[in-house]
Structure 1
Amino acid sequence: MQTGWLGAMRRPMERPDPAGRASDGLTAFAVMWAIALIFSVVSHYDNLILGNGIRIAVLEYAVLASSIALILNPRRLGLLLLLAVAMALQYGFRLPVASNNQTIAFFMNAAIVTVIGVAWMQHRGSAGVRDEIYERLRIVARFLLAIMYFYGIFHKINVDFLDPEASCAVALYKPLTQTFGLADNIVGRYGSIASTFVVETITLVCLFWRRFFWVGLIVGLVFHYIIPISAYSWYMDFSSLVFALYTLSVPREVSAAFQGRAARVLRRVPFNSAARVAIVAFALLFVAAMVLATQLRGRAGDLVITDMMAWHSSWIVMWAVVGGAAMVFLTWAAVDALPYRPQPGPRIPWWVYLFPATLFVTCLSPYLGLKTESSIAMFSNLHTEGGTTNHLVLSRSLYVAEYQRHVATIEASSNPGMQDNADRHLGIVRFDLERWMQLHPRDWVTFTMDGVRYDRATAAAFPMSERNLLERKLLVFKPVDVARPKRCTH
C-alpha cells in the first residue's frame, strides 16, 4: 500500500468520508509546515555557517532534515512532532528572538508538541487519534491567524502609518510599482495604506464568518504571495507560515482537495512517488535560482550585490514557484467546495486556547512598556518608547514597567554595529544599552539619555541594573527612531 506523500490519492477518487478528510487535512498541513520551516531556517543564513555557534547550527540542520523527512512521509505524526520539537528548541536557545513569524511559529510548534503528546498519552493506538489532533490544531491555527491580523490592523492605527511620506505600506508599494512609474503617485500611496487595512480586515472577519471563508482565503493568499516578491524584506518565511496556517484552518474538505490535486499533478512526473518529485524539483529549483542570483552579482549598475543578496534573491525565486503553486491549488480547492455550509465541529478542551491567548497578551507588550519586538508590530510605524506614542487609540502611556521609559540617543561608538545606529540617528532603550555593554565590555559608546551626555561610556564605568533570566530571555526591543514622522523599520 502506498504510504508516501499523499499515497492514498492513488485510490479511485471517490468522495472521502469526514474521517478521511480530517486525516488528509493533517497530512496537507504537515507538508506545508515543513516547507514553512525550511523558509524560516534559511532566512538565518549565518546560523547555518556556524555564525551563532555549533549548537544552533546543529538544531537548524536538524530542522532541515526533519522537514525533508516529513515531506517524504507526511502521515508520520512522529516526524511532525520531531520537527516541532527541533524548531521550538532552536527558538528557545536563540532567545531573545526579534522575529514575529518565528514567535508565531513557536506557539504553533508548542501546540503541536502538546496536542500530539496529550493525544498519544490518552488514545495511543486509537483509530481516531489523528482526527482529534487535527481538530485541535485547526483551532490553534485559526486563532493564531486571527491574532496576527488583529494586531496587524491595531498596531497600524497610528499617525505615521497613515502618512504617505512615511508609511510602511508605501515602502512596500514603491518597489512593486517603480517599474510602472507609479512609485510617487499620491493616489497609489494612499491606496496602499487603505488597502492594507481592507485586506487584513477581510481576512480577519472571514476566519470566523465561515460561510465566506473563501473570500478571506483568496484575498489573504494573494496578499501574502505578493509581498515577498517586492524584495523589500525577507518575507518568504512569514508568508509560507501564513500559507501553512491557512491549510490547517480552512474547512477539512478544502484541505483534502488541496492535498489530492497537488499529489495528482506531482505524480504525472515519472518518479516513484509525488514526494520524491517534490524534493527533486525543490532541489533543482534552488540550484537554478542560486546560479541565476550569483550570475547577477556585480551586474546591476552601481548596485553591489552581496552573497546575502544572492541568497535572498534565490529564495524569492523559490517562493515565486512554490508559493504560487500552493496559492493556485488552495484557491482551486476552496472554490470547488462552494457553496460551503459550515458544520459544527467537536468540542475542544479549554487548554488548547491557551496557546493563542498567550500570544494575544504578549502582543500588547509595546503599550505596557515591555518588549517592542516579536509583538506583531512589524512594519507598522508604531512607536511607544520614551513615554510617548503615535498610536491614535492608546494615545497615552500605559506602562506597567519602565523598560521603554529611558532612551539613549547614540552619537558615536568604537563598535561598527553601534556606530551604524549613530549614523542612522537611532537610539536604544536603556535595557538594551546595558545588555550591549555587557556583551561588548571593551567597546565604548557616546550617548545622551534623559538630558545627560555620557562620553565614551563603557561597561566598567556605567552603572547597570541586575537583570534576571526571564528579563534577559524574553525582552527584546527595536532600535528607537527619534525622528518624526517615524520612518518605516521592521
Structure 2
Amino acid sequence: MDDEPQIDIAALRRDRPLEVALWGPQSLVGRIVTWVFVFASACHLWLADAWQLEWLFANVVYLVGLALLCWRKAAVGWLLSAVGLAIPLFFHRDQLTQSLILLLFASTAGFSLIFDALRQTAPATTDSGTSGRQDPADMRLALGEWTFLSVFRGVTVVTYLLAVLHKINREFLDPQYSCAVYGLDELFTYWNLPLDVLPMPMMQLAPWLVLLAEGGIALFYLLGRRHVAWTLMAAFHIPLTLTMAPAFVFVMLVGHAAFLRLEDVSRLRAVLARHWPILGMTAALLTTASLLAHNNLPEWTMIPREWLLWGLLLTLSVAFPLWKKETWRPDRAPHPKPPRRTRLWPVVAVVGFFALNGLTPYLGVQYQHAGAMVSNLRIDRGCWNSLVFPESVRLTEDYIRVEETYFAEPGHIVEYEQIVLEQLWSPPQFRQMRRNWCRDEVRPFYLRGTFRGREFVIEDLCAGEPLPFADAGVFGVEIFGDYLRFQKNLERECPQTCIH
C-alpha cells in the first residue's frame, strides 16, 4: 500500500545481513515466486505417492519449511523444504521428476540467500511494496535473489526441452503406442466422449502437436516472448492435469512465475481488478461443464485446481491477447538487472547439472528424474527406440530380467509368477517386492535371472540375505538402496503402449 512504512533494506543488509536472508526475497517477483512454490509444494504433497507412513518424517520437515516460508523465514524455510524433498527421493523410491525440480528450486534458493548474506555482496535494493508500480530500485536485484530466479527460469526451459528430446522416438511418434494418443484417450474418457468423434488425421497429428506445444513453450521463452509462452503453457497443461499429471503444472508454475516482471504484475492486477467477476464466473462455468461431462466427482482438490487453471488461461488471454501484435513482438520491457558483482557459475552449474541429468537415460544410468515422463522412451536392450541417439552411446544396461521364479513351489501363484517374468526390474523394486510379498506361506520365493549380463540365483528372497546387486550403483557402489533409477511396470516386450 502507498502509506506502508518503507524499510531501509540498504541499512539492514549492511548491519544485519543474516536477518535479511531469513526474510527472503525483497523484490515483488521474488515474493510471488515464493508463494507459488508454497502452493506447488502443497499440491505435490497431496499426491497419493506421498501418503505413505515412511514419508511421514520427511513430509513434516517439508511442511515446517513451507510454514517458515509463509512466516518470512525464507532461507531456513527453503532449506528445510529441500531436506523434506531429498529424503523420499533418495531413501523412499520417489519416482517423480517434479521432486527433483522442486529440490533444485528449494536448495538453490536457500543457499543463495545464505551465501548472499554471509558474503554481503549484494548492492542495496529497495522493497517495491505491494502497489505494483515499477519502482526503479527494484530493477537491480540482490545477488542471491538474482541467482535463484535465474536458476528457476533455466530449469523451466530445460524441462520442456528435455521433454521434447525424449519424445523423439519411434513409439511416441506412432499413434498406435504414443503417450500423446493415450493422453487424448484419457481426456475423452474423463469427459465421457468417444474418441472416434475426432477425425483420423487428428489422431495422427497428436504426437506432433504435443512436441510443438512443449517445444514452443521453451522456444518462446528463449525468443523473449514470455507472454505467448504463458498462454501456451496454461492451455497445454489443463488436459494434462485432468488426466495424468495433477500436480506437475503447479510445480512448473514456480519457474514460469520467475519470468514475471513488474509491468506484468501491474497488468495482471489491472485485469483482475477490472474483470475478476466475469473471469471467475467463466472459469467456474468451464469447470462445471467439465465436471458435468465427467459425470462423477473427482478427487475434491481437483475442482479448485481446475478452476484456477481455467482462470489463469482466461486472465492471460485478456492481459496478453494473442491476437494483438505487441504480444508477439520481442520483449523490450525493462529487465531486472543482475547485481554489479554477478556470479554466473552457480546458475550455469545448477541448470547444467539438470540438463546433463536429463541425458542420463541414453547412457543407461537412469530413467526416472530425467524429464522422460510419458515419453514412450525405451533404453533397455532390444527395445531402444530413440531417433536422436544411437544405442551405442549406452554405457550400461542395469535392468534385471527374471527367467525363472516361483512362490513355495512352481505354479503355486501363477499370476504373480507371470508378473515377475514379464516385467523389467531394478534392485529397489526387488527390495519393495520383498516387503510387499513375503509371507511364510509363499516361501521360498525363488528367483533366477540375469543382471548386467551375468546370471544370479536367489534361493529365497524372503530370507533377507543381501541381494546379488551390490555393484548396482552408478559408480559401482549402491549408496542409496531405495533410490529408484528405473521405470516401474515396464514390460520386457516391446513396443508397448504408454506407461505412466
Fold shared by both chains (TM-score > 0.5) = yes
Q: Secondary structure at the match of 2:110?
A: helix
Instruction: Give the match for residue 148 of structure 1.
Output: 159
CA shift for structure 1 position 124: 8.7
- Supply the AA of the counterpart residue of 2:481: R
Equivalent residue for 2:110, pick from 103, 110, 113: 113
CA shift for structure 1 position 401: 3.6
The 5 Å alignment of 1:135-284 reads: 135-178=146-189, 179-183=192-196, 185-210=199-224, 212-229=225-242, 231=243, 233=244, 235-258=245-268
Pair 1:413–1:152, CA change in 2 (3 A): farther
Pair 1:321–1:260, CA change in 2 (3 A): same
Pair 1:432–1:409, CA change in 2 (3 A): farther
Instruction: Give the match for residue 423 of structure 2.
Output: 427
Q: Residues of 1 paired with 2:146 and 2:273: CA distance?
A: 23
- Supply the AA of the counterpart residue of 2:28: D
Equivalent residue for 1:128, pick from 112, 121, 125: 125
% identity of equivalent residues: 16
Instruction: Give the match for residue 324 of structure 1.
Output: 310
Q: Secondary structure at the match of 2:384?
A: coil
Q: Residues of 1 paired with 2:262 and 2:421: CA distance?
A: 51
Pair 1:170–1:106, CA change in 2 (3 A): same
Instruction: Give the match for residue 280 of structure 2.
Output: none
- Supply the AA of the counterpart residue of 1:472: G
Q: Secondary structure at the match of 1:466?
A: coil
Pair 1:357–1:252, CA change in 2 (3 A): farther
CA shift for structure 1 position 361: 1.2
Instruction: Give the match for residue 34 of structure 2.
Output: 30
CA shift for structure 1 position 223: 0.5
Quick check: 2:39–2:250 contact (8 Å CA) kept in 1?
yes
Equivalent residue for 1:363, pick from 333, 358, 364: 358
CA shift for structure 1 position 170: 0.8
Quick check: 2:406–2:445 contact (8 Å CA) kept in 1?
yes
TM-score when normalising by structure 2: 0.72
Pair 1:253–1:29, CA change in 2 (3 A): same
CA shift for structure 1 position 423: 4.1
Quick check: 1:413–1:456 contact (8 Å CA) kept in 2?
no
CA shift for structure 1 position 58: 2.0
CA shift for structure 1 position 366: 1.4
Instruction: Give the match for residue 95 of structure 2.
Output: 98
Quick check: 1:115–1:137 contact (8 Å CA) kept in 2?
yes
Pair 1:391–1:326, CA change in 2 (3 A): same
Pair 1:469–1:190, CA change in 2 (3 A): same
Quick check: 1:138–1:248 contact (8 Å CA) kept in 2?
yes
Q: Residues of 1 paired with 2:420 and 2:495: CA distance?
A: 14
- Supply the AA of the counterpart residue of 1:223: F
Q: Which stretch has the larger CA shift, 118-127 or 316-325?
A: 118-127
Q: Residues of 1 paired with 2:364 and 2:269: CA distance?
A: 44
Instruction: Give the match for residue 408 of structure 1.
Output: 402
CA shift for structure 1 position 177: 3.0
Aligned-residue CA RMSD in angstroms? Answer: 4.0
Quick check: 1:22–1:256 contact (8 Å CA) kept in 2?
no
- Supply the AA of the counterpart residue of 1:139: S
CA shift for structure 1 position 218: 1.2
Which whole-Å deviations, capped at 9, do the CAs of 1:373-413 have from their partners, x for residues lacking one?
11111101111123651111213142334423x43368665
- Supply the AA of the counterpart residue of 1:108: F
- Supply the AA of the counterpart residue of 2:308: V
Quick check: 2:169–2:377 contact (8 Å CA) kept in 1?
yes
Instruction: Give the match for residue 61 of structure 2.
Output: 59
Pair 1:445–1:151, CA change in 2 (3 A): farther
Q: Residues of 2 paired with 1:438 and 1:422: CA distance?
A: 17
CA shift for structure 1 position 426: 4.5
Q: Secondary structure at the match of 1:449?
A: strand
- Supply the AA of the counterpart residue of 2:205: G
CA shift for structure 1 position 425: 6.7
Q: Secondary structure at the match of 1:485?
A: coil
CA shift for structure 1 position 206: 1.0
CA shift for structure 1 position 329: 3.5
Structure 1, unmatched stretches of 5+, are: 5-20, 269-284, 301-309
Q: Secondary structure at the match of 1:98?
A: coil
Instruction: Give the match for residue 380 of structure 1.
Output: 375
Q: Residues of 2 paired with 1:362 and 1:181: CA distance?
A: 39
Quick check: 1:207–1:213 contact (8 Å CA) kept in 2?
yes
Q: Secondary structure at the match of 1:177?
A: helix
Q: Residues of 1 paired with 2:373 and 2:483: CA distance?
A: 17
- Supply the AA of the counterpart residue of 1:241: V
Structure 2, unmatched stretches of 5+, are: 5-24, 128-140, 278-283, 472-476
Q: Residues of 2 paired with 1:84 and 1:412: CA distance?
A: 48
Q: Residues of 2 paired with 1:332 and 1:204: CA distance?
A: 22
CA shift for structure 1 position 166: 1.2
Q: Residues of 2 paired with 1:351 and 1:125: CA distance?
A: 15
CA shift for structure 1 position 42: 0.8
Q: Residues of 1 paired with 2:231 and 2:260: CA distance?
A: 11
Quick check: 1:161–1:167 contact (8 Å CA) kept in 2?
yes
Pair 1:129–1:87, CA change in 2 (3 A): farther
- Supply the AA of the counterpart residue of 1:363: G
Q: Secondary structure at the match of 1:428?
A: coil
Which whole-Å deviations, capped at 9, do the CAs of 1:17-38 have from their partners, x for residues lacking one?
xxxx982212221222211111
- Supply the AA of the counterpart residue of 2:486: F
Pair 1:204–1:136, CA change in 2 (3 A): same
Pair 1:22–1:120, CA change in 2 (3 A): closer
Instruction: Give the match for residue 483 of structure 1.
Output: 493
Pair 1:51–1:62, CA change in 2 (3 A): same
CA shift for structure 1 position 59: 2.3
CA shift for structure 1 position 82: 3.9
CA shift for structure 1 position 99: 0.4
Q: Residues of 1 paired with 2:428 and 2:482: CA distance?
A: 12
